[in-house]
Structure 1
Amino acid sequence: MNTLSSHVLDTTLGKPAQGIPLTLTHPNGHTVEGITNDDGRFNGWVENSASGFAPGIYTLRFHCQQFLKDNHGKCFYPHIDITFELEEQGGHYHVPLLISPFGFSSYRGS
């Protein structure tokens, strides 16, 4: 079974980015929403898909504009899309995002 979680860290402040809205687009175009918690994490996707995630290409959109404007006064990237592929029986996928007002980075976490 494939599961999915995410974590957003503000590298300028050196702390988790709480309250960032997320949109996950499934391979069939269906979307589900989430929001990062006080620790900048979201792992509620399984609640929306009790049998786990089917293999395929997904896009996770981080709506970071308001957070960055509120915390830094500026935002070059109003949202950040990360597109990734889940494999058959790939296990747990973790998609972390490191953000700042003028840059971002991501990788496959654990």
Structure 2
Amino acid sequence: MISTHVLDTAKGAPGVGIHVSLSIQSNTSSDDNDAAPVFTPVASGTTNDDGRLPDWLDGKTLNPGTYRIHFDLEDYLTQNRQPVFYPHADIVFVVADPAQHFHIPLLLSPYGYSTYRGS
């Protein structure tokens, strides 16, 4: 299971209405090493009033691999009258054991963001 949520640290509130997508890397290291990673969409959704995406995988089975969560931030920041320095954020991480829970939150402010593996 992969879950995520967004916390707007500048407002001290959840990041509501942010479009988020999850993809898995579909090319491997044995492919052309000069090629940019290619990601295949897995799921997408919009954060709720708590800044979360409940059930965004809709029962899909995870496979081991390299995943990317893409957060579209520009509309959210604009609507909240915050400067747009980072129009989006991508978090790339490895799922070695798909039976584990991977909680990947995004802490957001106008001029920075951070992430960690949560529980």
Gaps of 5+ in 2: 27-38
Return structure 1 stretches of 4+ with deviation > 4 angstroms: none
- Equivalents in 1 of 2:47, 2:92: separation in Å? 18
Q: Work out the CA distance in 1 between the residues paired with 2:10 and 2:16.
A: 14
CA distance in 2, matches of 1:36, 1:63: 11
Residue deviations 1:65-102, cap 9 Å, x none?
A: 11111113311000000000011245111000000111
Give the TM-score normalised by the residue count of structure 1. 0.89
- The count of residues paired between Structure 1 and Structure 2 equals 106
The secondary structure found in structure 2 opposite 1:33 is: strand
Q: TM-score, normalised by structure 2?
A: 0.82
Match of 2:54 in 1: 43
> RMSD in angstroms over aligned alpha carbons?
1.4
CA contact (8 A) 2:107 2:115 kept: yes
- 2:114 corresponds to 1:105: yes
Equivalences for 1:1-110 in 2 at 5 Å?
A: 3-28=1-26, 29-31=39-41, 32-47=43-58, 49=60, 52-110=61-119
Identity of aligned residues (%): 42
User: Given that residues 5 and 52 in structure 2 are in contact (C-alpha distance below 8 angstroms), is that contact kept between their aligned partners in structure 1?
Assistant: yes
CA contact (8 A) 1:4 1:43 kept: no
Report the structure, 1 or 2, having the larger strand content: 1
The worse-fitting range, judged by mean Cα deviation, of 72-81 and 11-20 is 72-81
| Structure 1 gaps, min length 5 | none
Structure with larger Rg: 2
